[in-house]
Amino acid sequence: MENLLSVQNLTKRFGAVTANDNVDLDVRKGEIHCLFGENGAGKSTLSACLYGYYRADSGVIRFKGEIAELNSPADALRLGIGMVHQHFVLVTNFTVLENIIVGSPEVGMFLSKSAARRKVEDLCRRCGIQIDLDREIWELSVGEQQWVEILKALYFGAELLILDEPTAVLTPQQSDQLFAILDGMRRQGLSIILISHKLREVMQSDRVTILRKGRVVATVETSGTTAEAITALMVGHKVTKHVSDRSIEPGRDVLVVDRACALGEWGEDVLRDVTFSIASNEILGLAGVAGNGQKELFEVLMGVRTLSSGGFLLDGDAVAVPTSREMLDRGVGLVPDDRFREGLIPEFGTAENLVLGWQRKPEYRRGPFLDRRKLNALAERKIEEFRIVAASADLPVERLSGGNAQRVILAREFLHAGSLLLANQPTRGLDVAASEFVYEKILEKRAEGFAILLASEELDDLLRLCDRIAVIFKGRIVGIVRPEETTLLELGMMMAGDASNLDGHLNDLSSKALRQ
């Protein structure tokens, strides 16, 4: 097969950091090529170089056999290299069709919508995308918005599509749909560069290029290898999967949530009679398809969303009107799912972000002033402990790689939380090794006596880590199960709102048991 793209000796430095070090990469026509590597390995930087967003310091990029001069994304687009941004740049009150054709070179003087529509419909059919072209963007789910981004790139004539962690914000179902689309594109002879930390997805590609610390370690055919082998190549050693130590028994109740109800932005019910408790030395998992009230539940427990009725007890005390200040002071830690929106000050460095929420704590002050020296010392310790790759403690966190930014939050929460840790998708965007590192830390906290609420889309992880798993559907807890008595399938059914079936199923079982 011919190479659509070939990169030789590409090097890209940021000051003292070498993000890409003599990288070689070939992408064939009609293949899904995965970039895999630890956080900060240089995957995003490499794709930004291919997309013309950064200029490589040295190296040659050939596209269709010819040397490509990529000085801007416009150059890349002209050649046929498209990119789907993780943060979409769609106009929300335009329709799907308008978003796709806006800015296209053909629009020019006469915008022939009907011709454009035919072309887009044709694209949809060939790639198996089903979408209503007349709906406005704000009506679409995140997954569908991503399709629009893809269609836009294809409409512009992209033959190589770069997707940087496209599934980080998708539910497993949406991610399956995305892969079906990518598969359709592959069969059309289009090539795809895909960045993902999820092994399940990596294994669906044709080839994988593994990066470590900016260098290419290997490029392998996916069919001839295993997930374990790829992981080992990536981190340079085997990753041990942690499991909960069942000999530690949960103790007294730390958090008791009693019939909590909350309303959303438009007065709709987002939480309905949510009732559960978490004890010390216990991890309660929260499983559910994204958008079923998980985020709102975390916000309520953090004191940033008001309850319409019901309440909760923390360490036996009713929390009357919770504020985020009170929750922090009571030792609650929160790892939010949207880290740059809810967890970090993008323009601040690691040092300042590590004390966000605790900036007034006497420990970090000298008289009325923030104790810079102490903050920097703290940052140095945490950068080492959590292996955060940052050029300095003052480098704005918006310039850190996604996974490293997440580590800053984790370092802060593990440092300050006292009894209850609320973790919403704490491993989102983390590489395999880093995820295990987080789980190891969470299990350590469990052993120390913390109560932990852990929401994750990785059901396997929930099953091996949690003491119990609560399943949320449409704002309601539809069941709380024990991992040793539950299968993936049952969890999946409950997440899809099939609790009644399951109940019926269980009733059947118990009545059978009674009859015997």
Binding residues for ligand ATP, rule: CB under 6 A, are: 14, 17, 19, 37, 39-45, 389, 391, 399-404
Exposure string for 230-240, b = 16+ CB within 10 A, e = fewer? bbebbbeeebe
If you ran DSSP here, which 8-state letter would residue 89 be given? Answer: -
Site size for other proteins, by CB under 8 A?
A: 37
Give the three-class secondary structure for 281. coil
406 in contact with Mg ion (CB under 5 A):
no
Stretch that binds other proteins, among 149-157, 263-271, 340-348, 435-443 (CB under 8 A): 340-348
Stretch that binds other proteins, among 10-18, 110-118, 231-239, 455-463 (CB under 8 A): 10-18
* Residue pointed to by tokens 């806006």: 102
Give me the least distance between CB of 390 and ligand ATP, in Å please.
Answer: 6
Residue closer to other proteins by CB (options 113, 360) is 360
Question: Any residues with CB less than 8 A from the CB of 511 and at least 6 apart, and which?
Answer: none
Can you tell me which of 3, 188, 275, 324 binds other proteins, judged by CB under 8 A? 324
Give me the least distance between CB of 6 and ligand ATP, in Å please.
Answer: 20
Burial of residue 369 (CB within 10 Å: 0-12, 13-18, 19+) is: exposed
Question: Any residues with CB less than 8 A from the CB of 273 and at least 6 apart, and which?
Answer: 259, 260, 261, 310, 476
44 in contact with Mg ion (CB under 5 A):
yes
Q: What is the DSSP string of 331-363?
A: TEEEE-SSIIIII--TTS-HHHHHTTT-TT-GG
Give me the least distance between CB of 286 and ligand ATP, in Å please.
Answer: 24
Give me the least distance between CB of 210 and Mg ion, in Å please.
Answer: 15
**330 alpha-carbon distance from chain centroid:** 28
Can you tell me which of 325, 447, 488, 510 binds other proteins, judged by CB under 8 A? 325
Give me the least distance between CB of 161 and ligand ATP, in Å please.
Answer: 17
507 in contact with other proteins (CB under 8 A):
no
Give me the least distance between CB of 39 and ligand ATP, in Å please.
Answer: 3
Stretch that binds other proteins, among 332-340, 431-439, 440-448, 457-465 (CB under 8 A): 332-340
Give me the least distance between CB of 214 and ligand ATP, in Å please.
Answer: 7
> For residues 432 and 199, what is the distance between their CA atoms, to the nearest angstrom?
8
Site for other proteins in 53-72 (CB under 8 A): 54-55, 57-58
> Are 312 and 301 contacting, i.e. CB atoms less than 8 angstroms apart?
yes
Question: Any residues with CB less than 8 A from the CB of 149 and at least 6 apart, and which?
Answer: 84, 85, 88, 90
> Are 321 and 327 contacting, i.e. CB atoms less than 8 angstroms apart?
no
Residue closer to ligand ATP by CB (options 53, 94) is 53
With CB under 5 to 8 Å by kind, the binding choice for 51 among Mg ion, other proteins, ligand ATP, none is: none
> For residues 453 and 282, what is the distance between their CA atoms, to the nearest angstrom?
9
- Report strand pairing: 215-221 vs 332-335: unpaired
With CB under 5 to 8 Å by kind, the binding choice for 285 among Mg ion, ligand ATP, other proteins, none is: none
If you ran DSSP here, which 8-state letter would residue 400 be given? Answer: S
Q: Which residues bind other proteins (CB under 8 A)?
A: 11, 13-15, 54-55, 57-58, 302, 304, 323-325, 327-329, 334, 336, 340-348, 352, 356-357, 359-360, 365, 368-370, 372
Note the residues at the interface with Mg ion (CB under 5 A). 44, 402
